[in-house]
Structure 1
Amino acid sequence: MVRGIEAAAKGMVALSEKLDSVVNDLANISTPAFKRLIQNISQSENYPINRVFLQTDDNRAPFIGYLGNGSELSTQALDLSAGGLEHTSAKLDVAISLNNNAFFQIQTPNGIRYTRAGNFTLNNNDELVTQDGYPVLSSANAPITIDGQNVVISSDGSIQVDGQQTDTLGIVSLDNPSLIVPQGSNLYSYSGQVVNATGFKILQGYLENSNVNTVKEMADMIALERAYESGQKAIVIEDNETGQMLSQFRI
């Protein structure tokens, strides 16, 4: 019975963690190019049941199966499906299309991070930066300076300022979604091999929207809350049964 309580509690922890992820998804519905996190809950390690109350003739208990030890978050990966495109007409807004694995490179105090959010701006040094002030990197892994009025960003990421090509956006491919880890501020780290992206198209004056499906996330939230409540009820039942069993042995 104690193991039943432990299993229910472990499952509730997994449900709570997944619920936190769903809430975060819903909070970022309006965040440009936000990517929802896919999390799967599965049965954790099972233990073999080798002993039973019914003994065999040779006094050995037969193997009868496995006893579950609760549920846990088994896998998680970033959902790289594309969000819709929004036309903004802003000259420093850019969206990546055609290649869902392609990302912009961003220089941060903690190293290079990656994002799909192209709502860029300029800092006081005329450097192209994110909304948090982190420099956007070129194909040469250097900050991009835009000193001029007429800015044209071509479909291959090349940048022309007042008719002169000055730089090219550094677009890379992160091919394994399970190795992409959210770092906050719509930035991601990646522990796999980073390669130059191909097959993408840059759209100037557009932003990619979040890929969060509000209806699906709300349905998932309701299902998770009901499952969590079921876990609470299971713990109460197990606790009551344990109390009744112990009361039979009291003198």
Structure 2
Amino acid sequence: MIRGLYTAAAGMVTQQRRHDTATQNIANLNTTGYKQVDSVSHAFPDVLISAMSGGTTKPVGRLNTGVFAEQSVSQYLQGDLIESGKSIDFALSTDLQVADPATGDNIAFDGSGKYVTPEGEVIYRPQAFFTVQDNEGNNLYTRNGSFSVSATGQVLSAGGFNVLDANGNPLVLTGPQDNLKVDGQGNLINTATGLPSGTKIGVSVITRPQELVRDGNGVFHADDIEAAEIRYANAGDNLQVRQGYLENSNVDPTQVTVDMNAAYRAYEANQKVIQFYDTSLQKTVNEVGRV
């Protein structure tokens, strides 16, 4: 009986985390560059149930003793691009492909941006991010291109971090902000000649985005640069920098609302189970024990 009590309690904790994840997504429906988070749940390890009869043991079957919310997974799918009209706003439009090592054809990723090989290996679609740097010199990655320019011409992210160029240096503007022109590859255009000035916005391509860690405020970092396979974008990558646009949140409001209600109902069901066990234990102590 006590085992069932613990199982129901574990279910309540898991559903609470699912509910918290869904409400976080809903709260960021209008956050620029926000990426939806999904909660992944797993069962506790199986235990073998056996019956003892006449000195022999007969297997009854396997039983899961609970569930737990193992991790939260970010969905890096492309959000809608919204025109802002500001010359210092940027968005990334990407369709990065990966060749299947067996056939050489481009991998057909599913709706969540992943592909499972026949051998069971999971391959994620590469993603592109603007590269920014914090005060400690750590590189961070964001899809929020709502930038600003300081009095000294430094380009800053929405979180106040330095935006980097393609050489890993802070991006500094020398001309008037109103005349800023950037082409689809992120090259700053010299307004006098109409040609690239030699400075390029630093866009990083991350081959294994599942290695990124969410820091909050729309930025991510990688604990292991090599494991994430991070590099700066080149001309062969299928991506475009859109000036005067911002990427909206990729949260699906209908789906997260369903997830939130499902988590609430499952939490309520586990709560009823605990109340049942509490009533049964009360009768065991106060009525059965009296006989």
Give yes or no for TM over 0.5. Answer: yes
Equivalent residues in 2 for 1:9-28, closer than 5 Å = 9-28=9-28
Which residue is equivalent to 1:199? 238
* Alignment pair present for 1:171 and 2:167: no
Distance 1:146 1:27 in 2: 34
Give, in angstroms, the shift of residue 60 of structure 1: 2.4
Distance 1:159 1:245 in 2: 77
Distance 1:166 1:125 in 2: 20
Give, in angstroms, the shift of residue 162 of structure 1: 3.7
CA contact (8 A) 1:117 1:208 kept: yes
Corresponding letter in the other structure for 1:160: I
Which residue is equivalent to 1:45? 45
Corresponding letter in the other structure for 2:208: N
- Relative to structure 1, the CA distance from residue 64 to residue 230 in structure 2 (aligned partners, 3 Å threshold; closer, same or farther) is same
Give, in angstroms, the shift of residue 166 of structure 1: 4.7
**Helix, strand or coil for the counterpart of 2:184?**
coil
Q: Which TM-score applies when normalising by structure 2?
A: 0.79
- Relative to structure 1, the CA distance from residue 177 to residue 17 in structure 2 (aligned partners, 3 Å threshold; closer, same or farther) is farther
Distance 1:225 1:79 in 2: 22
Which residue is equivalent to 1:101? 127
Which residue is equivalent to 2:152? 125
Distance 2:230 2:43 in 1: 33
**Helix, strand or coil for the counterpart of 2:59?**
coil
Further displaced range: 163-172 or 220-229:
163-172
Corresponding letter in the other structure for 1:94: F
CA contact (8 A) 2:40 2:73 kept: no
Write out per-residue CA displacement over residues 38-76 of structure 1, whole angstroms, 9 at most, x where no aligned residue. Answer: 2222322222223x3xx334x122222222121112343
CA contact (8 A) 1:33 1:116 kept: yes
User: After the TM superposition, which parts of structure 1 deviate over 6 Å for at least 4 consecutive aligned residues?
Assistant: none
* Counterpart pick for 1:160 among 175, 183, 189: 189
Distance 1:196 1:245 in 2: 67
Further displaced range: 7-16 or 37-46:
37-46
CA contact (8 A) 2:145 2:158 kept: no
Give, in angstroms, the shift of residue 133 of structure 1: 1.3
Q: Which TM-score applies when normalising by structure 1?
A: 0.91
* Alignment pair present for 1:115 and 2:142: yes
**Helix, strand or coil for the counterpart of 1:113?**
strand
- Relative to structure 1, the CA distance from residue 143 to residue 235 in structure 2 (aligned partners, 3 Å threshold; closer, same or farther) is same
CA contact (8 A) 1:123 1:133 kept: no
Which residue is equivalent to 1:229? 268
Write out per-residue CA displacement over residues 3-60 of structure 1, whole angstroms, 9 at most, x where no aligned residue. Answer: 111111111111111211111111111111110012222322222223x3xx334x12
Distance 2:207 2:37 in 1: 16
* Counterpart pick for 1:208 among 247, 256, 259: 247
Give, in angstroms, the shift of residue 240 of structure 1: 1.7
**Helix, strand or coil for the counterpart of 2:53?**
coil
* Counterpart pick for 2:53 among 34, 52, 56: 56
Give, in angstroms, the shift of residue 165 of structure 1: 0.9
Which residue is equivalent to 1:68? 64
Distance 1:43 1:245 in 2: 30
Distance 2:63 2:277 in 1: 16
**Helix, strand or coil for the counterpart of 2:131?**
strand
Query: What count of residue pairs does the alignment treat as equivalent?
Result: 247
Distance 1:178 1:60 in 2: 49
**Helix, strand or coil for the counterpart of 2:181?**
strand
Q: Which runs of 5+ in 2 are unaligned?
A: 96-125
